[in-house]
Amino acid sequence: MKLLRYGAAGAEKPGLIDVDGKIRDLSRVVPDIDGRALSASSLAKLNAVDQATLPLVPGNPRIGPCVGSVGKFICVGLNYADHAAESGMEVPKEPVLFFKATSAICGPYDDVIIPRGSIKSDWEVELGVVIGKEARYLSEEQALDHVAGYCVVNDLSERAFQMERGGQWVKGKSCDTFGPIGPWLVTKDEVPDAQRLGIWLEVDGHRYQNGNTRTMIFNVPFIVSYISQFMSLQPGDIISTGTPPGVGLGIKPEPVYLKAGQTMRLGIDGLGEQFQHTISAE
């Protein structure tokens, strides 16, 4: 299934994409696409619904973040060796983990706000893993049993805030609108191999990132298992698994950063595409 949330920011309704690519309303079945709706039993219930009986959603509503009420937004840094190289950092021996504030989450087509004082705002297309079942101390073999599905994430970063202002990376990762997710949460039954997905990003029509999840240093089962050794994972938590090479920081001979008035387009095979305009902070 391709699950989504649509409507005004803060008042999104649950929906799914039917076989004809149209949005069907799920409000009579579940209150939201959030942790409560992502258990195996809940997803089975949704999958059993006759889509033709669900109301069609008219027009072209705003598409919101594909998961509501996210508890944790956990990110993996430097998870592609060639991205670590372009960033001038060593390939990690264990996953580099950091958090992104959930207030950064926005819809896949919402405007991205370049924050006040920013001179190095950057893009990062990433595979998002959505947790469907509480997880603690998992083995790699158990990990995928706790995954509900996958989504596209743009892990935007302000590099000066991230690396030149001291402390942890969170300052450069958590600006408002720096976490577009969606358009869909694609359930794992539709993604037979999360390590064989093309992943790409363009700015103003120029393709900067063009990779594949098969080149991850740490794969999805390892990442989910690894994180569960340090904290419990809850339904609705999102793990962003790292970005392939081609970020603005790594462009030679000079880095290229975002400014207001640009457009980003990004996607992952089978998981849909995002499209964002950049605007200045008020």
Q: What is the pLDDT of residue 282?
A: 85
Q: What is the pLDDT of residue 163?
A: 87
Q: Helix and strand tally (H, E) in the chain?
A: 6, 18
Q: What is the pLDDT of residue 170?
A: 93
Q: Which residues pair with 240 in a beta bridge?
A: 75, 128
The CA-based diameter of the chain, rounded to the nearest angstrom, is 56
Q: What is the pLDDT of residue 17?
A: 98
If you average pLDDT over residues 188-209, what whole number do you get? 97
Q: What is the pLDDT of residues 179-195, one digit of tens each?
A: 999 999 999 999 999 99
Higher pLDDT, 192 or 167: 192
Domains of the chain with bracketed CATH: 2-53 (no CATH), 73-280 (3.90.850.10)
Strand 198-203 relative to strand 121-122, pairing: unpaired
Residue 78: which pLDDT band, with cuts at 50, 70 and 90?
Answer: confident
If you average pLDDT over residues 136-165, what whole number do you get? 97
Q: What is the 3-state secondary structure (H, E, C) of 152-203?
A: EEECCEEHHHHHCCCCCCHHHHCCCCCEEECCCEEEHHHCCCCCCCEEEEEE
Least confident window among 51-55, 80-84, 107-111, 269-273 = 80-84
Residue 86: which pLDDT band, with cuts at 50, 70 and 90?
Answer: confident
Query: By the 8 A CB rule, do 154 and 276 touch?
Result: yes
Residue 82: which pLDDT band, with cuts at 50, 70 and 90?
Answer: confident
Q: Which residues pair with 154 in a beta bridge?
A: 125
Query: By the 8 A CB rule, do 180 and 107 touch?
Result: yes
Query: By the 8 A CB rule, do 234 and 147 touch?
Result: no
Distance CA 205, CA 249 (A): 18
pLDDT at residue 84 greater than cutoff 80? no
Burial 226-265 (b: 16+ CB within 10 A, else e): bbbeeeebebbbbbbbbbbbbbbbbeeeeebbbeeebebb
* Dihedral pair phi/psi, residue 239, rounded to 5°: -115, 120
